[in-house]
Amino acid sequence: MDDARAADFVKRFEAFWRAPAVERLDTVLAANARLSAPMVPTTAGLEAAQRAFAELFELMPDMQAEVRAWGATREGVLIEFATRGTAGGAPIAWRGVDHFILDAQGLATERLTYFDSLPLTLTLARRPRTWPWALRSRIRQLRR
């Protein structure tokens, strides 16, 4: 992957996260994108990714991510990010790394997210206002 293609993807990633909306996921994800991250089920396809992000934005309607660093890889790009928002009536934040594999059009066909989920899980568990979301999310997963 050349730096120019990786930089273009990072610019689109940053633009998405400045004003995230499920309708704009197609600016960074291919139709066949596979997403894997801690705490959420793996998704296959853009529509599944849109449903998963809609659920996430239900929990954190003001969620945003900021790129801290990035680098091109042989198949795509690694992006270190900082996420922040409000969940259960209080601020929440964490850092992680996304590993994207890009297709010839520069869209992600795969995203593997890495972060330590234990602190985030414990924070959410201590916020009873997040429990209904967790229950609804789990029920939706079981119905699929």
Q: List, for residues 3-48, the tens digit of each pLDDT value.
A: 899 999 999 999 999 999 999 999 999 999 999 999 888 999 999 9
Average model confidence (pLDDT) across the chain: 93
Distance of CA 116 to the CA centre of its chain: 14
Residues 79-103: pLDDT tens digits? Answer: 999 999 999 999 999 999 999 999 9
3-state secondary structure of 47: helix
Q: What percent of the chain has pLDDT over 70?
A: 98
pLDDT at 144 over 70: no
Bridge partners, residue 23, by sequence: none
**CATH number reported for the structural domain that contains residue 111 in this entry:** 3.10.450.50
Q: How many domains does the chain have?
A: 1
Give the structural domain span for 122.
3-138
Does residue 144 lie within any of the structural domains? no
